[in-house]
Amino acid sequence: AQSVSQHNHHVILSEAASLELGCNYSYGGTVNLFWYVQYPGQHLQLLLKYFSGDPLVKGIKGFEAEFIKSKFSFNLRKPSVQWSDTAEYFCAVVDAGNNRKLIWGLGTSLAVNP
């Protein structure tokens, strides 16, 4: 079965530090990839997505992610984090062959210290 693995469950950074959150998926076919963010007390929001084309995708708030097909990875990056980036980050993959079901990672909790 399709699965998504997020390597870091809890990350603590200081402001201005660089961020990279790992995400690997198991499906070998055509995939559509997402990063969602959930700020404290708020609902899930789309951060960025990859469907096709340029494997380096840019999202909101300075985030970007790189799709590396050979590594089944879609890591999220930000060169300089801010306190307001404190949130839960979820990687998700659409299983196009399974009713377009969204397969979720367990999430990574990011805390940015001012």
Partner 1 sequence: EAGVAQSPRYKIIEKRQSVAFWCNPISGHATLYWYQQILGQGPKLLIQFQNNGVVDDSQLPKDRFSAERLKGVDSTLKIQPAKLEDSAVYLCASSPGTGSFEQYFGPGTRLTVT
Interacting residue ranges for partner 1, rule: CB under 8 A: 32, 34, 36, 42-46, 49, 51, 90, 92, 94, 96, 99-102, 104-107
Nearest C-alpha neighbor of 3 from the set 72, 103, 111, 80: 103
> Cα(105)–Cα(11) distance, rounded to whole angstroms?
15
- Give least dist CB 31 to partner 1, A: 10
Contact 39, 110 (CB under 8 A): no
Nearer to partner 1, 25 or 34 (CB): 34
Nearer to partner 1, 10 or 28 (CB): 10
Nearer to partner 1, 13 or 38 (CB): 38
Q: Please give the structure tokens belonging to residue 5.
A: 């693995």
Nearer to partner 1, 34 or 67 (CB): 34
- Give least dist CB 46 to partner 1, A: 6
- Give least dist CB 18 to partner 1, A: 25
Q: How far is CA 106 from CA 7, 17, 89, 92, in A?
A: 9, 23, 9, 9
Q: Please provide the distance, in angstroms rounded to a whole number, between the alpha carbons at the two ends of the chain.
A: 41
- Give least dist CB 91 to partner 1, A: 9
